[in-house]
Amino acid sequence: MPLLFVRLPATHATHTTRNIMSMIEIVVNDRLGKKVRVKCSPNDTIGDLKKVIAAQTGTRPEKIRIQKYYTIYKDHITLADYEIHDGMGLELYVRSPTHHAASKQRAHHMD
């Protein structure tokens, strides 16, 4: 049986290679010993990153906070804008339901 070779148009091959090369891997550490490796694009927003992390960890994205040192990353800003690059480590914090309820109770009692 003869081998068939398919030649892709140059634009298609270049476009596919560019997409693969622009993917970056980020390591997210939950500070409790669990690390999650996530593949994403530099053009993705922090909100997009949270959705991918949520899918891997089973945590709802709105409960996730991503930060590095004292900088808390905002959902609508891209990874490239924050200069997040391949191999970079970020901190993952998950807001617990009891924390949210307790802060509401404190606010209610202060009225």
| pTM summary value | 0.65
> What would be the CATH architecture of the domain defined by 23-110?
Roll (3.10)
* 51-67 pLDDT, tens digit each: 998 888 888 989 999 99
Residues in contact with 78: Cβ distance below 8 Å, sequence separation at least 6, in sequence order: 42, 43, 44, 45, 46
Band (pLDDT 50/70/90 cuts) for residue 76 is: very high
Domain range summary for the chain, segments of one domain joined by +: 23-110
